[in-house]
Chain A
């Protein structure tokens, strides 16, 4: 019977039923077959979304969109360019560093790619960088958007696993820096091999002018992350403040947001987060079905027997499954489905749930840059007009670098856990 729930889910998903609906219908099969009263359906849907931690999701989505469309990210990028542009291949470094910085404001990979891509790709083109390489670099650096806090997938994981959002956020800095560092090293190597140009040195006054202009945007991570880590706000409150702040800066300081644009951004952020919330809600139904047939426990046992109880092998298998899921599924849906299935296995081998939260976040973030389903490549392709295939080729080595970082974080857990252990109790 346990196979029925997975079988019907996969079947429904493959014939094109939206993922949230596939999960809900598969759960419904279990409800009907085992005579669970159907009042449980709306009740469970309500329970699935009724969480204050989840309030952060629409807010972080909206803040990321305002950042990308409200003139804030452009100014951050312009400042980064003024300081680093004169190194050979400097614009590539700027794309990665700007992605890392914007990741500290935005909670999604697509928003990060859009923000950096629309600001830098036209210029990279005119400065004779290879467009396919640059688009691939910005798409792969976009994955850092969900690893450096804030992060929508981390909020979802925290709610499902019952962990602290703030601890997960804290754990994201070092892995995010490693991902960025790896990409920068690769970009520099390519820049020297292909003789990419160095930009001219800008006069100090111009650098200063750009710094002042970007200052409002540069302050944002200080407010959001500072507020969360000092305990002044909860993550959801910080997300609301992030919306207020980016909105005020874009509207009153930069004057690049009119009501029409604002209306559109708010409605679209509402819809985007609703897509995730719908899957979270139906996944709660699905969770009933899984628990009814004790499927996560069965999967944990299968994993352990295949791996011969080797922790090394179990983590390796889980990573491979996560990376494969990331290729074929959208990030949030994959996270919502996989997390409850893997938790018993992780607990069974004495793993740390903050550590695993980072692994699944990084693994699925890499999925944003691995086709066929790769949101960051879609975004980069929409900005450049290149096809997905053209971007998918130069992205291969970059994805491999990110996978190396994932494996490092898997087998050296202190890379992930040192910061939360240093600054927070009980990790």
Chain B
């Protein structure tokens, strides 16, 4: 599924190596976030039954979901597994297919550049806002957009490199 660096070893461009290792880390983090989400929601049920209902668990699960979803989206951009309509582009000649693939990645970079930039703006402007239950600053929540936005841009840029080299279409 995921291409690790073994095919060409050290001759791979830095961008690819970086994208691969960031992705390995992302997958581990995603595993951990999923377990945490299951754990928190399970704990919520247990505490309500046997002790007192937790006040913060739903909010935490929600933010974990938002974070895990953005992280999972990043892994999906790396794997090229985002849901797309491909039965038309598959019929195009190979050269044109490559051009389209580059265009698609560029459009993705544009979108996530905006998400990342304005996410960073929100980190500043919403810093005094706190979440209702856990009372943490919204800056921490919005931080995921510049950070993971940059990760997605990295994968998309590395993807362009691979397409141009002829690795995948």
Interface residues of A (CB under 8 A from B): 12-21, 24-25, 28, 38-39, 41-43, 45-46, 49-52, 54-55, 58-59, 62, 233, 236-237, 239-241, 243-244, 263, 266-267, 269-271, 273-275, 277-279, 281, 328-330, 332-333, 372-373
Contact = CB atoms under 8 A, between A and B. Distances in A.
A385 B142 CA distance: 46
Interface in B70-84: 70-73, 75-76, 79, 81-84
Most chain B CB within a 10 A radius of its CB, from A15, A271, A273, A373: A271
B31 A278 contact: no
Interface stretch (B5-13, B36-44, B160-168): B36-44
Q: Could you tell me the dominant secondary structure of chain A's interface residues?
A: helix
Given A17-B104, A50-B66, A270 B82 contact: no
A273 B84 CA distance: 15
15 contacts: A14-B85, A18-B82, A19-B85, A20-B73, A21-B104, A28-B114, A41-B115, A45-B115, A45-B145, A50-B66, A58-B68, A275-B72, A275-B73, A275-B83, A372-B87
A237 B86 contact: no
Interface in B98-113: 100-101, 103-104, 107-108, 110-111
B17 interface: no
Contacts of B58: 52
A243 B68 contact: no
Most chain A CB within a 10 A radius of its CB, from B115, B117, B125, B145: B115
A195 to B, nearest CB: 38
A52 B142 CA distance: 18
B115 A42 contact: yes
Given A18-B82, A59-B41, A233-B45, A274 B71 contact: yes
B42 A50 contact: no
Contact of A237 (B33, B44, B69, B79): B44
Contact of B86 (A16, A52, A266): A16
A224 to B, nearest CB: 12
A42 B115 CA distance: 6
B84 A275 contact: no
Interface residues of B, number: 55
B103 A15 contact: yes
A269 B27 CA distance: 11
Nearest to A58: B34
A373 B66 CA distance: 28
B65 A240 contact: no
A28 B30 CA distance: 28
A20 B72 CA distance: 13
Contacts of A332: 83
Nearest to A240: B41
Interface string B116-137: 0111011001000000000000
B82 A39 contact: no
A51 B88 CA distance: 35
Given A20-B73, A274-B75, A332-B83, 19 more contacts: A16-B86, A16-B104, A19-B83, A21-B104, A38-B114, A39-B122, A39-B125, A46-B142, A49-B66, A237-B44, A240-B42, A263-B31, A266-B35, A267-B30, A267-B31, A267-B75, A270-B31, A270-B72, A278-B70
Given A55-B62, A236-B41, A275-B82, A270 B33 contact: yes
A18 B82 CA distance: 6
Given A16-B88, A43-B122, A269-B34, A52 B62 contact: yes
A269 to B, nearest CB: 7
A21 B107 contact: yes
Contacts of B85: 13-14, 16, 19, 328-329, 373
Contacts of B140: none
A275 B86 CA distance: 16
B154 interface: no
Given A270-B72, A277-B69, A20 B83 contact: yes
B61 interface: yes
Contacts of B31: 263, 266-267, 270
Contact of B84 (A18, A46, A269): A18
B89 interface: yes
A59 B37 CA distance: 9
Contact of B72 (A15, A42, A271): A271
A58 B85 CA distance: 23
A28 B42 contact: no
B56 interface: no
Contact of B122 (A25, A42, A50): A42
B141 interface: yes
Contacts of B30: 266-267, 270-271
Given A16-B89, A275-B81, A49 B65 contact: yes
A14 B108 CA distance: 15
B148 to A, nearest CB: 11
Q: Across chains A and B, which 10 residue pairs bring their CB atoms closest together, nearest first? A: A274-B72, A18-B82, A277-B69, A240-B41, A16-B89, A42-B119, A278-B73, A49-B66, A18-B84, A270-B30
